[in-house]
């Protein structure tokens, strides 16, 4: 399953001894992997502070204001309020909130060192540590104070807010846009043939398997990578005024279109990245890259419907008011892509929830009412919705390819059922399919605290997975892009950001099998903050990508 936090790649951190008062930080909880969050982007005194999956919003960014004597006040970028021991409490379990900066000792925190660069936040007035209540790992878990016991739920990693590979605000906010883009053959020139045989000869302008992922700029220029990726997800803009404004407003920063801040135009997050990767270099020479967007916003629409992930999404698509907002947001996203040669991964997980309810044609959705302009002729069902979203992409972003995400959690027992459902959903109208390999490194999953699962690959497991990809590709006549492939390798030591896995090495050692499964691209990236990243894997992915390209690559089939 897709994990939004999976787009985050930590590239550097700060500790108690190196905190920079001029830098905005994201505070990552060691126990949950989620971040310190001003709930619902609230700006009033007493507003709750919780943990939440990282999305790059200003309500998840904090600045350390020097209060003297080794103490700091933590100011939230969205609200301007500071972290506060509510009502000057000395009671274990009492709330930590946001409040206007009074510079009281209940708003001052010492950064106590913990192992591996983590810190504990010790309140000057109460002497207690800031923690996630009951060691919760859920979005919305309460943040409170408690006796300083050094637990993982009391340990926080300070990550500069710009240090992300995808979902957060870009580390740069400018850069001149290229005056034009080189034309390329973006759509598959032919389809995978049933029964095998060479057929797809080009995809996104390439006749070999593409390599890319989620990574920092430094990593992206260290090897001839073809693709970079990022998530786009938030609740949709509440009104059309957001789309036509010349500049964002501070109050809009929770919306993806204003993640870049109030000094930029709405949608800058998309246009900046498209221009940025188009100007990529390798060894000092131009090496333009493609951008791969994971559009993941029905999850947030489900929150608006009051039910959250899965069930809430299915409720939301059958409400014309909510689906109208979603459609307007999606159209704006596509318009910001414009004529760029991008790829879109359409709504991971959602199609799996639809499949769990039976025939997609019978899952109700207010498609024609929500978007009569683009989709007035579509049936009012999940199948009509999928066709509408694909058609809109082809209309508003004509050079962009649309990938239909394979949320087939039962593929090992019912591949044919999955193929039937995706035919009903209209996957044949998309340009490619997307499959996520795993959201965590196998070494992370192997630890008892994380379930003790064996997610390492054997040749048998790999062959079974590739067989599934091939079957699905041939069932709809489209190639597959593998996304969110774990970055770990066997040289790691199964510690934070250094977990073992074997999939990078396996794929590069079996590229003919990859191509035979009609896989057109391999995109690598961590699915959660604790995982191995391109920046922490010892250079393994970079070295293998260089060697792969030096060999001439592997032809698409």
Dump the DSSP string for 390-438.
Answer: HHHHHHHSTT-EEEEE---TTHHHHHHHHHHHHHHHTGGGSSEEEEE--
Question: Can you tell me the mean pLDDT for 482-500?
Answer: 97
- Kindly state the percentage of the chain with pLDDT values over 70: 90
pLDDT at site 139: 86
The tally of CA atoms less than 13 A away on the side-chain side of residue 528 is 24
Q: Closest by alpha carbon to 328, among 355, 301, 361, 353?
A: 301
**Sole residue written with tokens 């091939």:** 470
Q: What angle do CA 305, 8, 56 make, to 5 degrees?
A: 55
SS3 readout for 241-267:
HHHHCCCCCHHHCCCHHHCCCCCCCCC
pLDDT at site 192: 58
Q: Are 317 and 365 in contact (CB under 8 A)?
A: yes
Question: Can you tell me the mean pLDDT for 332-340?
Answer: 98
Sign of CA dihedral 479, 529, 34, 410: positive
Q: Closest by alpha carbon to 457, among 426, 488, 429, 484?
A: 488
Q: Closest by alpha carbon to 351, among 412, 295, 292, 291?
A: 295
Average pLDDT over the chain, rounded to an integer: 89
Q: Dig out the tokens for 134 from the structure.
A: 């009951």
pLDDT over 60 at 341, yes or no: yes
pLDDT over 70 at 233, yes or no: yes
- Kindly state the percentage of the chain with pLDDT values over 90: 80
The tally of CA atoms less than 13 A away on the side-chain side of residue 284 is 0
Q: Dig out the tokens for 219 from the structure.
A: 């990593």
Each as own residue / partner, the long-range contacts of residues 443-448 (CB below 8 Å, 24 or more positions apart, any chain) are: 443/488, 443/492, 443/494, 443/499, 443/500, 443/501, 444/488, 444/494, 444/499, 444/530, 444/531, 446/494, 447/494
Rounded CA Rg of the chain = 23
CA dist., res. 292 & res. 212, Å (int) = 9
pLDDT at site 9: 31
**DSSP assignment string, 168-219:** S--S----PPPS-------S-SS-PPTT--S----BTTBSB-EEEES--HHH
CB-count burial class (<10 Å; 0-12, 13-18, 19+) for 412: exposed
pLDDT over 90 at 196, yes or no: no
pLDDT at site 528: 87
**Sole residue written with tokens 């204001």:** 65
Q: pTM value?
A: 0.70
How far, in whole angstroms, is CA 541 from its chain's centroid? Answer: 20
pLDDT over 60 at 168, yes or no: no
Domains of the chain: 11-160 (2.80.10.50), 210-550 (3.20.20.80)
CB-count burial class (<10 Å; 0-12, 13-18, 19+) for 478: buried
Question: Can you tell me the mean pLDDT for 58-85?
Answer: 93
**Strand 210-213 to 519-524 pairing:** parallel
pLDDT at site 293: 98
**Sole residue written with tokens 């390492």:** 456
Q: Kindly report, residue by residue over 283-301, the tens digit of the pLDDT.
A: 999 999 999 999 999 999 9
CA dist., res. 550 & res. 494, Å (int) = 31
CB-count burial class (<10 Å; 0-12, 13-18, 19+) for 193: middle
CA dist., res. 94 & res. 115, Å (int) = 26
Burial 153-191 (b: 16+ CB within 10 A, else e): bbbbbbbbbbbbbbbbbbeeeeeeeeeeeeeeebbbeeb
Q: Dig out the tokens for 18 from the structure.
A: 């190196």
Q: CB within 8 A of 459, min separation 6: which ones?
A: none
Q: Kindly report, residue by residue over 119-151, the tens digit of the pLDDT.
A: 999 999 999 999 999 999 988 899 999 999 999
pLDDT at site 19: 87
CA dist., res. 400 & res. 387, Å (int) = 16
CA dist., res. 10 & res. 51, Å (int) = 18
pLDDT at site 524: 98
* Residue 103: count of CB within 10 angstroms of its CB: 12
Q: Are 190 and 255 in contact (CB under 8 A)?
A: no
Burial 434-464 (b: 16+ CB within 10 A, else e): bbbbbbbbbbbbbeeeeeeeebbbeeeebee
């Amino acid at each position: 399953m897709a994990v939004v936090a999976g787009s985050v790649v930590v590239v550097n951190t700060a500790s108690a001894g190196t905190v920079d008062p001029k830098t905005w930080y994201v505070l990552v909880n060691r126990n949950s992997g989620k971040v310190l969050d001003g709930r619902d982007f609230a700006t009033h005194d007493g507003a709750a502070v919780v943990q939440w999956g990282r999305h790059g919003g200003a309500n998840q960014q904090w600045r350390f204001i020097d209060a003297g004597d080794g103490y700091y006040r933590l100011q939230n970028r969205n609200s301007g309020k500071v972290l506060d021991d509510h009502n000057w409490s000395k009671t274990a379990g009492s709330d930590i909130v946001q409040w206007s900066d009074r510079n009281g000792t209940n708003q001052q925190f010492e950064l106590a060192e913990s192992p591996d660069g983590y810190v504990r936040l010790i309140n000057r007035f109460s002497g207690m540590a800031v923690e996630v209540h009951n060691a919760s790992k859920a979005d919305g878990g309460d943040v409170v104070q408690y006796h300083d016991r050094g637990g993982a739920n009391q340990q926080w990693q300070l990550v500069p807010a710009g240090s992300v590979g995808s979902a957060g605000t870009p580390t740069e906010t400018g850069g001149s846009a290229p005056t034009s883009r080189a034309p390329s053959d973006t759509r598959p020139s032919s389809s995978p043939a049933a029964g095998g045989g060479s057929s797809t000869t080009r995809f996104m302008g390439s006749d070999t398997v593409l390599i890319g992922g989620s990574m920092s700029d430094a990593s992206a220029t260290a090897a001839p990578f073809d693709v970079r990726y990022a998530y786009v997800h938030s609740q949709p803009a509440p009104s059309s005024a957001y789309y036509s404004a010349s500049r964002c407003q501070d109050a809009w920063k929770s919306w993806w279109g204003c993640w870049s801040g109030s000094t930029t135009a709405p949608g800058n997050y998309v246009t900046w990245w498209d221009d940025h990767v188009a100007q990529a270099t390798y060894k000092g020479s131009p090496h333009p890259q493609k951008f791969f967007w994971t559009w993941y916003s029905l999850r947030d629409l489900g929150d608006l419907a009051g039910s959250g992930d899965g069930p809430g999404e299915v409720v939301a698509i059958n409400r014309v008011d909510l689906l109208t907002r979603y459609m307007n947001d999606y159209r704006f996203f596509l318009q910001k892509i414009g004529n760029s040669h991008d790829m879109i991964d359409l709504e991971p997980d959602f199609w799996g929830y639809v499949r769990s309810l039976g025939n997609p044609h019978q899952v109700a959705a207010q498609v024609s009412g929500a978007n009569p302009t683009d989709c007035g002729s579509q049936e009012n069902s999940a199948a009509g919705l999928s066709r509408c979203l694909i058609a809109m992409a082809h209309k508003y972003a004509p050079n962009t390819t649309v990938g239909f995400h394979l949320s087939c959690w039962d593929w090992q027992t019912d591949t044919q059922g999955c193929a039937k459902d995706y035919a009903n959903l209209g996957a044949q109208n998309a340009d490619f399919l997307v499959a996520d390999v795993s959201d965590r490194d196998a070494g992370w999953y192997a630890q008892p605290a994380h379930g003790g699962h064996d997610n390492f690959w054997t040749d048998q497991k790999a062959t079974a997975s590739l067989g599934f990809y091939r079957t699905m590709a041939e069932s709809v006549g489209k190639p597959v892009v593998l996304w969110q492939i774990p970055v770990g390798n066997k040289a790691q030591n199964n510690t934070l950001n250094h977990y073992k896995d074997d999939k990078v090495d396996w794929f590069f050692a079996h590229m003919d099998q990859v191509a035979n499964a009609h896989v057109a691209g391999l995109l690598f990236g961590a699915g959660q903050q604790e995982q191995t990243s391109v920046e922490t894997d010892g250079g393994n992915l970079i070295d293998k990508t260089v060697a792969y390209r030096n060999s001439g690559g592997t032809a698409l089939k």
